[in-house]
Structure 1
């Protein structure tokens, strides 16, 4: 039974009415019954709202996959469990995959982010094969959901901006059934569909909120966001710096014990 989810959705919808300018199309593509994989783009810290909103229109609650450490948190854990989200162990890919497949076979709508990490370029990054593989294994459709605008509210490398009237465009693609025979080719097809939906979102974005040079616009459209290649370089540098900090902290602990 869902108790917390409806409350959070009501709060989000109130925010939409008061603080944002939301334009959504294609919500009817989320199946009214049965399992489905929602494959959402990842350009903000609020993607779960964008990717969960279309399903709510059909009275479906999206269960998102999240690392198990989140469920261990004394505050976040109970909240995540109340949403019936899926705890996965990133160190055990096979187990995480099976958790998702079991949920899909039981009729759940499962939300995944094929890009894995936030796209600093606001384009669709290279994506993983997991979404199409789990859909094929469970015999359910993949439904691509792409949004543009939430990154202006909160994303990596930029301050949170809760200004009223920020436009958010959400487009939901048609469901399709991967066979699993060629996961690489089917993932390429998912990428094509998501990229096309992103172009639809940006085309529908209000002209007065697309000024030349804006940081929230992709470079190919005259924005100052990094290109895909530049964003990848930044991701590599960030990952390296994180590993160095982790190693330094571990060395400090070892020295303190010694």
Structure 2
């Protein structure tokens, strides 16, 4: 599998950076040194917003890496987003026939690509880490590459599940935190490794939530904070019932 020709990804990155500057988003990328300069890797990220794949990909840019995200096929069917997703060589996931996308992701990893996944599968409405799928560690073990846990916080304020989007907000802090990689190997207990990955993702999310440099204004509904931090987001139990 040859490295793909990059005709679409660079201008999309440039357009996003321009938009970030116009909105004066306060981007804080931490742990970018954990993204390898070469070779395959699985980035396993928390999921609080429809925009997470944009911010998650920023962590790879200092190392010159472009992340290929696994995303549901409905996005690829969109007349605007679809051509962009295909042009950036992201990986379409048909949940009724997931083995084909799994094989495509493993092939990309073996070819030295960074593949981004959201192991929770859907946005967490509680803004805590949901139960996660085993695919991230299985792919990494089969391809012989590391898993890099990641957390994003702040993006839910722009556009998240169950809330009207507000893409013109200015000065919103967005924190992206990559954690230390770990290496699954074939024969390891994949369920235990998945539990370990969830713990790592949860610790990173706790950290960026604690460090977040903004709080709801007096009298403002703290909907974008999890219940355990005093917010009005649903508890994990109520969020699971909604899902």
What TM-score results when the alignment is normalised by the length of structure 2?
Answer: 0.91
Contact 1:52 1:62 in 2 (8 A): yes
Which structure dedicates a bigger proportion of its chain to helix?
Answer: 1
RMSD, matched Cα: 1.7
Corresponding residue SS for 2:53: helix
Which whole-Å CA distance do the structure 2 matches of 1:216 and 1:69 have between them? 26
Contact 1:47 1:150 in 2 (8 A): yes
The offset of 1:12, in angstroms, is: 1.6
1:16 paired to 2:24: no
CA 215–106 in structure 1, closer or farther in 2 if over 3 Å, else same:
same
1:119-138 to 2 correspondences below 5 Å: 119-138=124-143
1:17 to partner: Cα distance:
2.9
Equivalent in the alignment of 2:115: 110
Q: What does 1:37-52 align with in structure 2 at a 5 Å threshold?
A: 37-52=42-57
Q: Which of 184, 187, 196 lines up with 1:178 in the alignment? A: 184
**Is the aligned partner of 1:187 residue 2:194?**
yes
Alignment CA distance shift 1:60-1:220 (3 Å):
same
Note closer, same or farther for the CA distance 1:68–1:216 as it changes in structure 2 (3 Å cut): closer
- Structure 2 residue corresponding to 1:229, chosen from 212, 237, 242: 237
- Aligned mates of 2:162, 2:110 — CA distance in 1: 38
- Whether contact under 8 Å (1:167, 1:209) holds in the other structure is no
**Secondary structure in 2 aligned to 1:146?**
strand
**Aligned 1:1-258 pairs, distance under 5 A:** 1-19=5-23, 20-161=25-166, 162-180=168-186, 181-209=188-216, 214-235=222-243
Contact 1:213 1:222 in 2 (8 A): no
CA contact (8 A) 2:146 2:183 kept: yes
| Structure 2: distance between partners of 1:48 and 1:100 | 16
Q: Which ranges of structure 2 fall in alignment gaps of 5 or more residues?
A: none
Q: 1:70 to 1:221 in 2, by over 3 A?
A: closer
SS in 2 for 1:101: helix
Higher relative contact order (CA 8 A, sep 6+): 2
Contact 1:23 1:169 (C-alpha < 8 Å) held by counterparts: yes
Query: C-alpha separation between the residues in 2 aligned to 1:114 and 1:75?
Result: 25
Note the alpha carbon deviations across 1:19-70, whole angstroms, 9 max, x for none: 2111111011111101110101111110111211101121111111123444
* Match of residue 255 from structure 1: none
How far is 1:179 from its partner?
1.9
**Structure 1, unpaired ranges of 5+:** 236-258
Say if 2:34 and 2:179, in contact at 8 Å, map to a contact too. Answer: yes
Question: Counterparts of 2:192 and 2:56 in 1: how far apart (Å)?
Answer: 24
